Chains A and B, each alone.
Chain A
Amino acid sequence: MTEITWPWQYNFPPFFTIQPHAETRAKQLEAWQQLIVEYLKATRQSTVDVRETQNNPLFNNTAINRKLSQEAVLTILEDMARTGRAAPTDKSKNVWEVYWHSLDEWGNMVYNWACSNGLNNSVCTLFELREGENTVDEEFHGLDMNVLLKALKALEIKGKCELMEFDDNQGVKFF
C-alpha cells in the first residue's frame, strides 16, 4: 500500500466539521474530494462504504482525535455525484463508486489507448483491458469492473465502440 501524503487540511480540526459558511464550505468540500480521490487512487479502491467510514483512516484522524461523521461523508459524496465523480450503487446510498476520473474521461482514455495501439475495429475482452500486459502502464489497469463497464457504455452511446458478450466473457469492439 502506498504511503499517502496527507494534505495540510487533514491535520486542521475544522476540516472534519462541515462549514456553514458557503464559500468556506465550497473550499472544504473541494479539498475533501481531492483527498478522497487521491486516497482511493493510492489504495486502488473505487468504492466507499459510508457505513465503514468511521474507522477508515481517511475519515478518522486519530492524531488530532477528529473524524468525519457519516452525514458529512454523505454530504461530500452527494456533492461529488453532482459533478459526476461519484455515484451510489444502491438506493440506500450506502456504497458509492468514486471515479478518479469522470466516466467520460475513462472512456476517452481507453479509446485513446485502443487507437494508439491500432486496435480499431478489433475486439478486446474486458479482462484484457483490466489485466492485460499491454495496459500495465495505463491508468485504467486494474480498474473496477463496474466502473469500466459504465465508462465503455458511455463510449458506446457516442458510437465509438460496441459491447458484446460471448460465452462467459465480455468484450468490446472499438470503431
Chain B
Amino acid sequence: MPAYLLEIFVVLLGLAMLGMEAFAGRGSRATIGLVGVAGLGLTFALLLFAVCCPEEGLSYWGIYHFDRPAAFYKGIALLSTMLVLVMAREFAPVLKRYTSQAEAHAGLGEFYSLPVFVCAGLMWMASAKDLITIFVSLEVVTMGFYVLVAYMRRNVGSLEAGVKYLILGALSTGFLVYGIAWVYGVTGEFELAAIGEVLAGGAYSERAALFAFALVAVGLGFKIAAVPFQIWVPDVYQGAPMPVTAFLSVGSKAAGFIVLLRVAEPFLGAPAINGPVVLLLAVLTCATLIYGNLGAIPQTNVKRLLAYSSIAHAGFLLMALPSVAGGGEIAGPGGGQAISFYLAGYLLMTLLCFTVLTVVRAGTGAEDLGGLAGLAKRSPLLAFAMLVGVASLAGVPLTVGFFGKFFLFNIAVQEAMRSGLWIVVSVAVLGAAAGFYYYFKIIRAMYWDDAGADGDPGGDAALQLGGLTRVAVVLLVLAVLFFGIYPAPILGLLG
C-alpha cells in the first residue's frame, strides 16, 4: 500500500466526522470522538503493518517522500492526535460551558475533527523535503491551531490566547516566507537536497545565505518556542482549552523540530557558513534554557508552569541540533535520532501530564497548584500517573525522560569538544537541575499538601475517570516506565 494513502485516509476520516456532526442524530453525535480515536488507531495500525518501513526511502512525484524518519513522525502525529481526542472527550463538559450549545455534545464535532485535519498536516510535513511543501503543510497545521486555541470563545482567556497566537503566528509566517524567498534567491532551489549541494559547493554569497538562515530561524523559533520568540507561549498555553494546549506543546513542537532539522541540515553541512550557524544556534539554546527554566520556578498555574517547561525542553532539543549534519563521528545515536527519541518521549510524558490535568480541570475547575493539592488521597491512580509524568519531564532515571536527556547531553558534550562551546552544556546542566525544583513542586502539592486547607470546591469528591481515559493513562504510564528501562524499540524504529 502506498504511503500517501494514509493522509488521504485521515482527511476522509475528518470529513466523515464533520458529516456526522451535521447529519447524524443526537445520540450518535456523542460517538464522534470515539470514531476519531478508532479511525486514527486504524491508520496507525496501517502505518505499522501495511506501510512501514521500506528499506530505502520512497519518493512519489518528487514531492512526497517516505522513509524511516517520515514514518516515525507520522506515528508521533497519529498517536498524539489520538490521545488529544481522548482528552477532548474528557474535557467536553468544560468546553460546553464556554461555547454554550443547547444540547450535550452538540457543536463539539468540530472540536474533534479539527485535530484530525491538523494531524493530516503534520503527516504531510513529515514527508516534505522541499520548502514549498514544508510551508504549505506547516500552514495547514497552524491554521487548525488558530481555530482550536480560540475555541472556547465565551472565555476571555481563550479568546485572548487566540488573538495573540493568530497575530504572532502570522508574523512568524511572514519571517519564514521571507527567509524561504532568500534561500531561493541564494541557491535557486527549493529542494533541500539540492540546496545542500549548492551550499556545500561554495559559489554563493555567504552573507546572504546567513541572512536567509536567520530569517528562517526566526520563523521556526516561534513554532518551537525558542527564546527570544517565546512571548506568546505562557499566555496561549494558559488560555487555550486543555487538550489543545497538550496538542500545541507536542504537535506544534514536533512539527517545528522536523522542519528545523530538515532546513538546518544543508546550512550546517556547508563548511563556509557552519561556524556562524552553530554560534547562532548556541546563543538561541542558552537563552531558551535559561529563560524556560528560571521562568518556570515562580509559577503557580500548572498550565503556565508546563508552558515554561515546554520552552525549557525546546532548549534541550536545540542543544543537539548542530550535530545533525554529521560533522565527525558521534558515539551513540546521532543528532537527528536523539532529537526524534526525545520528541517521542516528550509526547508520552507531556500527554500523560495533560491528561491528568484535564481530568482534574473537568472535575474541580481548578488549574493552579492548589487544585492538585491532596490529589494522592482523592485519586491515587491520577496522582501516580502525574508523578511518573513529572518525574520523566525532570529526567529522573527509570523514565523515558532520562534517556532522552542522556542522549541529548551525550551529543552536546561531543559537539562541545568539537566546537569548544562548553557554555551550552553547563547552562543545560544548570537548567536540568532547576527543572527538578519546579517539577517537584507539583509532586509536593499532590502528596504532601492538604486539600482542605484552601477550601477547594470539589476537594473530597473522587474524580470521575472515563473508561477510555483510564486505559490511556495506564498505557502512558507503562510506556513511560518501559521505555525508560528499555529504549531499544524506539531507537530500532529510527534505524
Specify whether A and B are partners. Answer: no
